[in-house]
Amino acid sequence: MKNLILILTAIIILTLLSMIILVQINKRNTSITASVIEELKSNYSYTKAICNSTNFCQDYEITCKNNKITSTRKLKSAQLDTNLKIEHVELNDYFCK
């Protein structure tokens, strides 16, 4: 009977220590989530149809980082421009807010 009480006590102590260790590990990882969310806010992409003066439109993927266009990629096979260059500050503000 005495051995059974010692074994149960050891199991309870080991369980409590394991729980304390897991809580401490979980507390450390919470800051990582916040960093990922901030990174996602400043680095994102979306698609946009860009049309010329004759209303011919082409779909592009526009990638933004820190409110600036970092890249554009044509999504369909029709060709309007092979490389869309957006260098004006006004267009950066328009596409990447």
pLDDT tens for each residue of 8-17: 999 999 999 9
Stated as kind and residue range, the H or E segment containing 49 is strand 43-51
Residues 6+ apart with CB under 8 A from 47: 59, 60, 61, 62, 75
Domains of the chain, by residue range, sit at 43-77+84-95
**Statement: residue 83 has pLDDT above 60:** no
Could you report the per-residue pLDDT of 36-80, keeping only the tens digit for each? 566 666 788 888 888 878 877 888 888 888 888 888 888 865 554
Residue carrying structure tokens 């260059």: 85
Q: How far apart (Å, rounded) are the C-alpha atoms in residues 4 and 7?
A: 5
